Structure 1
Amino acid sequence: MSREALQHLSEGQVLTGVDLTRAEAVALSGTKLVTATPEGDGWKVAAGQWVGAVRCGDLKVRVAPKVGAVKVLQLLARAHGVRNLHVDADQLGLADDADLSTVLAVLFEREAQTALAQRPQRGYRTEDQSLPVVRGRIRLVDQALRRFGVVTPIEVTVDEWTLDTDENRRLRAATRVLLTLPGIPKATRSGLRRVDRMLAEVTLLPRGARLPPWISTRLNRHLHRLLYLADLALGGGSVEHRVGDVVAHGFALNMAWVFEALVAQVLEEECLRSGPGRLLSQQTYALDEGERITIKPDLVVSAGSEVLAVADTKYKLLDDDGSFPNADSYQLITYALRLGLSAGHLLYAGKPLSHPGVHAIRGSDISLHIHAVDLTQALPDIERQVHEIHRRLVVACGPSAPSTGASGTPEDLLQPAGQLLSPSAFAAPK
């Protein structure tokens, strides 16, 4: 199998007899996008649940999602609490087989052209400085402890009117991440470089440094879409793995995580809207009396200290007859027993079941409820499927608790801005 075939992989696809060096194989496996194992005279390269694109020297590897790159970006945005992200592929000039990193980079660059059309937004930033003259507010304690009676320099706190704001730091960090990705169109790369030059005064934080969350306000309303896209770029899967002199870098995204985050986000919103309880993700519980064994269900609905329902998401396709791996059922039975529940819920990515997905477990009063969420459907249909799952969770856990009445939808995010996204895009932050 030729090396060029690695540019046209899809989820779950396996290639055999690929000509790779050992360093390339180890570097590619380290990115998690694919795994490479020796087989005969070549290497077996297997794509799993990760999608994206990486470059390793002159070698390019792309894994396309089954639902399409634009759809994955919409699902990822919705998982971050962003509603109805519409992307016009024709307007953006995207190819039918464009990978996820290309779609994100093109969308970010085009939106930046609109949001930063006039100039980057300045703002006040509070800084502690040592100056020869009084400016701002004197820090009397620091002056006494650091200067020991010396008049200058003076320790002051200054509110600087500057381009170096938290929002602009986030935008420049996202721009730099996108510039490192392979396969970005030349025009898009040039546009990203222009954005980087516009933000040249903005501090570049060290790699791995955490940026503070941005806050939506009236003043930065025109940046909301661009900031959300920056969040996707920074919180996505920028990866790099080095083996000796061989470096593999690019953008990889775990579809299992996207599915779990999407379901959790929509369920959380529905719990806040109609109850009962609230949703907890990846909560840890001790399984044995000595607390040496723990369990960590994907999703738990609780009201105070009382657990109402438990569910696990599985980014797997069910068989035609609706069967699923036994290990999944063992896991949920354990969760239900530990949490004192009579029902456990398994949420799969796939076509709707043609029969009731309820299994009564012999020797106990526990039943397993199987649900399927079809990710090939339009986003409103996916939300309706998850809302139906929430309804079945409520039925399984008994009478509904009082509703909190919270919607979590800031009104200022409902206003249209920008040209490439629909007016309803980015309606509600997480």
Structure 2
Amino acid sequence: MNRHSDLEALREGQVLESVALTRDEAAALNSTDLVTVQPGADGWRVTAAHTVGAIRCGDLVIRVRPKIGALQVLRLLARAHGVAGLKVDELLIGVAEDPDITAVLALLFAEEASTAMAAGPMRGYRTEEQTLSVLRGRLRLRDQELRRFGRLVPLEVTVDEWTTDTDENRRIRAACRRLLLFADAPQSTRDRLAHLDRLLADVWLVPRGALLAPWTPSRLNTRLHRLLHLADLVLDQATVEHRVGTVEVHGFVLSMAWLFERLIQQLLTEASGMVRVMAQHPRPLDIQARLTIKPDLEFTDGARVVAVADTKYKLLDEQGKFPNADAYQLVTYCARLGLKVGHLIYAAGEPRPEPFDIDGAEIRLIIHSVDLQQPVANLESQVETLFDNIVTATEQQSSHWRS
């Protein structure tokens, strides 16, 4: 029987047999998407597939570490959000020999906050509607008439407050609180996060589940840009917070398949210029619109779809082969979109150089791979070459099938 402590050191793709769990704990873990739990002959079987992160499930702590390392995942996650040049000093990450994502993210966030907040929190104007006994700001005449029926006080006014309670600071404080909740960072890092939280004590803390207002880069908030991007990484991922039975669950969960798709989309968008790249755009498959398809990536020239691609967070085998189901899916996409060529993009492995010409369909499948373990600059070069290959294949096949 495996101990609960074994759940704290899972690797991506690992299966742990014979784990002692209660039914509530098993149900709670299954609801997180971090691991799947199934009953076994002796205890429970816990499977960590292609989702990484760390969660607290009651008294349990479950960590799944990525194959490519937590630092590389954070670099790719930042790049997928359009943050170029995020510097992750490996000497700075002294949290563990093999740190988990939340610990590294907490340390990066605390480091950036020390720089961004050196001159104190940024202030800005926030427009608020208030009810006051004296005139301040602008009187809302219509509200005054409808609510006060001619009385002079209280007054319904609109006030522009010069305050630290800005959208940017709300986002930063929410991310700080989230990291304090579930990041297993060193105590020194947690102390720095707690100091940041106290520094923003006058900033409204958005209730759990409420949507935060988006932030817009500007000259006024330049010094906060990198910190806000890191806050986005904390808040925009699949953050788990719920209760199953008697078990409360919270944590940080990241799908590597989603990360791979988002990263490829971002880099292809930057490389594509005038060609627009759309992700997961639903389309009806049958005439009655009872079936739908959602290709991972579509390339449009503004008037029509010119290419389609599917990203697969899988490894090609030693012969460069891939599952037949991947081919069936892409052939369907090509047939529905009226395309003669489709592209499969894998996370690693050496693809076979020759394409697959589908018999009876006049459709060609081309296989590509992108190595996620490479430095970000190399990844960008790989995806630029990938886009050039997609364009070339589209032009060649269009002329080939016409002739």
Question: Is this contact kept in 2: 1:352–1:373, CA < 8 A?
Answer: no
Deviation at 1:206, TM superposition (A): 1.7
Question: Is this contact kept in 2: 1:352–1:374, CA < 8 A?
Answer: no
1:346 to 344, 347, 367: 344
More moved, 211-220 vs 226-235: 211-220
Deviation at 1:240, TM superposition (A): 2.6
Distance in 2 (alpha carbons) for counterparts of 1:318 and 1:351: 5
Instruction: Provide the residue aligned with 2:155 in structure 1.
Output: 154
Q: How does 1:287-306 map to 2 (within 5 A)?
A: 287-306=285-304
Q: How does 1:375-390 map to 2 (within 5 A)?
A: 375-390=372-387
Instruction: Provide the residue aligned with 2:367 in structure 1.
Output: 370
Instruction: Provide the residue aligned with 1:414 in structure 2.
Output: none
Distance in 2 (alpha carbons) for counterparts of 1:283 and 1:157: 42
Instruction: Provide the residue aligned with 2:239 in structure 1.
Output: 238
Q: Larger relative CO (CA 8 A, sep 6+): 1 or 2?
A: 1
Instruction: Provide the residue aligned with 1:279 in structure 2.
Output: 277
Deviation at 1:130, TM superposition (A): 1.5
Deviation at 1:344, TM superposition (A): 0.8
Distance in 1 (alpha carbons) for counterparts of 2:183 and 2:386: 39
**Aligned length in residues:** 395
2:390 matches 1:393:
yes
1:328 to 326, 329, 348: 326
Q: How does 1:24-423 map to 2 (within 5 A)?
A: 24-272=25-273, 275=274, 277-353=275-351, 355-398=352-395
- Could you tell me which amino acid in structure 1 is paired with residue 198 of structure 2? R
TM-score by length of 2: 0.95
Distance in 1 (alpha carbons) for counterparts of 2:147 and 2:322: 67
Distance in 1 (alpha carbons) for counterparts of 2:93 and 2:102: 14
Distance in 2 (alpha carbons) for counterparts of 1:290 and 1:219: 52
Question: Is this contact kept in 2: 1:300–1:311, CA < 8 A?
Answer: yes
Distance in 2 (alpha carbons) for counterparts of 1:241 and 1:145: 42
Deviation at 1:158, TM superposition (A): 1.0
- Could you tell me which amino acid in structure 1 is paired with residue 72 of structure 2? K
Deviation at 1:397, TM superposition (A): 2.6
Deviation at 1:182, TM superposition (A): 4.5
Deviation at 1:57, TM superposition (A): 3.1
TM-score by length of 1: 0.89
Question: Is this contact kept in 2: 1:38–1:44, CA < 8 A?
Answer: yes
Distance in 2 (alpha carbons) for counterparts of 1:241 and 1:326: 38
Deviation at 1:251, TM superposition (A): 1.1
Distance in 1 (alpha carbons) for counterparts of 2:132 and 2:111: 42
Can you list the C-alpha shifts for 1:89-139, whole angstroms capped at 9, x where unaligned? 212423221000110011101211121123111111111112222211222
Distance in 1 (alpha carbons) for counterparts of 2:367 and 2:325: 14
- Could you tell me which amino acid in structure 2 is paired with residue 307 of structure 1? V
Identical counterparts, % of pairs:
56
More moved, 213-222 vs 294-303: 213-222
Structure 2 residues without counterparts, runs of 5 or longer: 397-403
- Cα pair distance change 1:343/1:237, threshold 3 Å: same
More moved, 214-223 vs 326-335: 214-223
- Could you tell me which amino acid in structure 1 is paired with residue 40 of structure 2? E
| CA RMSD across the alignment | 1.4
- Could you tell me which amino acid in structure 1 is paired with residue 189 of structure 2? T
Deviation at 1:163, TM superposition (A): 1.0
Distance in 1 (alpha carbons) for counterparts of 2:309 and 2:332: 12
Structure 1 residues without counterparts, runs of 5 or longer: 400-430
**Partner SS for 1:222:** helix
- Could you tell me which amino acid in structure 2 is paired with residue 42 of structure 1? G
- Could you tell me which amino acid in structure 2 is paired with residue 305 of structure 1? A
- Could you tell me which amino acid in structure 1 is paired with residue 10 of structure 2? L
Deviation at 1:58, TM superposition (A): 3.1
- Could you tell me which amino acid in structure 1 is paired with residue 383 of structure 2? V
Instruction: Provide the residue aligned with 2:401 in structure 1.
Output: none
Runs of 4+ more than 4 Å apart: none
